[in-house]
Amino acid sequence: MQLYNTLSAEERAIMIDDAGKQRLTLSFYAYAKIQDPKKFRDDLFLAWNALDALGRIYVATEGINAQMSIPEENLEAFRATLEVYDFMKGIRLNEAVEHDDHSFLKLTIKVRDKIVADGLNDETFDVTDIGVHLKAKEFNDILDDPNTIVVDFRNHYESEVGHFKNAITPDVETFRESLPIINEQLQNHKEDKNLVMYCTGGIRCEKASAYFKHQGFKNVYQLEGGIINYAKQIEAEGLESKFIGKNFVFDNRLGERITDDIISQCHQCGKPCDNHTNCENDGCHLLFIQCDECKAAMENCCSTECLDIIHMPLVDQVRLRTGKQVGNKVFRKGKSDSLKFKHSGELANTSLATAEKPLDIRQKIKVKKVLLGKAEHYYVKAQVGLFTIENHELNTGDKILISGPTTGNQELILEKMIVNEAQATTAKIGDRVTFEVPFRIRLSDKLYKIVN
């Protein structure tokens, strides 16, 4: 039985593009008592792998926490795999505000001690004795009550790009840090205030609300389904959004826009910006906010030190990072003295700029295309893009497509190109190619050849 991934992320991305099928990004969680998490994990892997489901899932004796990408045509079959378990019958699936076919590129199901790391001894209180769930309209109404205290139970890098107005936004890097901080801060308001909490999809608040009820808070409420579900409801019901900015998400998108307000700054130059990225230096991979101009100038690095390192020979780069603990390369969330415009803790409700109208991120397959490679650099003054060819062959005269969440889908005819620093008519796998691109490209952009 296959209980592991047989394809790399790059190979899976090619398969997704070649299949030309719409995928949905969704999340769900459930607290339950699972006797054998290992068997539960293996059974889920077999069922979901057969449906081409991808994602990052944690299972434990206390339940399941999942963020996933599902082919739209397999959604009902996927629901059926959940209905097998009594504790997941009728479970709410939080669909993303913006879908991206590449949000997840592997199916990873891990057995953990807990589905949310909280640092608590769960035996000291009843995790099912939770606060009152509020839908979007009810949540908006209670925020208007002067006796309400609203708390963001996410981390500093999440709240920085978007949060509910007037919320307490703890300057923390983990959920477990926020519980004692808030408990201490609100000790004198256990009976006279409404303690209202929110997070991305609801799972952190589910446990936090039980914890604060156990601590003696009388009026405990939580946003049902978190920010993701709130965004869906305010759009469907035409409600005012009391959330401002962008919702950070834990997949390749790194965020989905809730309002057009940009409330954060590029950590390097201070320009209004809310696009997270990871430092290009493999020995760093710091998660930070970077505008397009700084991305081009700093080549996706967080500091001049990292910029120098990525230009070193690979053997020297490996030597420098040997023995260092980078941690989770996608979400290393430590702060850095190099980031002069980083903000956390008490955050303002002020919009610094208005975002461009969001592009339709759903990949509606109108043309047949094959993935060639990815963008490596964009030379702004010369308007030249640098790409690495990873699949198939590229020829002058080919119709190509450059695609990315910000760039959108841009088509052009390749008239001439430089291959490995010499003019050529053909580029093969492994070649580095430059050619004129009359628009700005980003490092997240992919290069395709249109074949129909």
Q: What six digits make up the tokens of 21?
A: 């099928």
CA-derived radius of gyration, the chain: 23
Closest CA to 389 of 448, 314, 450: 448
Pair 221, 194: CB distance under 8 Å: yes
Pair 141, 93: CB distance under 8 Å: no
Using the CB atoms, write b or e for 56-88: b if 16+ within 10 Å.
bbbbbbbbbbbbbbbbeebbeebeebbeebeeb
Which is catalytic among the residues 199, 291, 301, 306?
199
Q: Where are the alpha helices (DSSP H) in 155-310?
A: 156-159, 175-185, 203-214, 226-237, 292-298, 304-310
Using the CB atoms, write b or e for 347-362: b if 16+ within 10 Å.
beeeebeebeeeeebe
Q: What six digits make up the tokens of 43?
A: 């059974």
Neighbours of 277 (CB within 10 A): 22
Pair 223, 167: CB distance under 8 Å: no
Residue 199 annotated to the active site: yes
Strand partners for 272: 265
Closest CA to 449 of 431, 424, 422, 427: 427
- The CA distance from 329 to 345, in Å, is 24
The 3-state DSSP composition of the chain as helix, strand, coil percent (nearest 5) reads 25, 25, 50
User: In the 8-state DSSP scheme, what is residue 358?
Assistant: P
Neighbours of 256 (CB within 10 A): 23
Closest CA to 204 of 173, 225, 190, 183: 225
Contacts of 79 by beta carbon, 8 Å cutoff, 6+ apart: 93
Q: Where are the alpha helices (DSSP H) in 224-361?
A: 226-237, 292-298, 304-310, 314-321
- The CA distance from 332 to 335, in Å, is 9
Residues annotated as part of the active site: 199
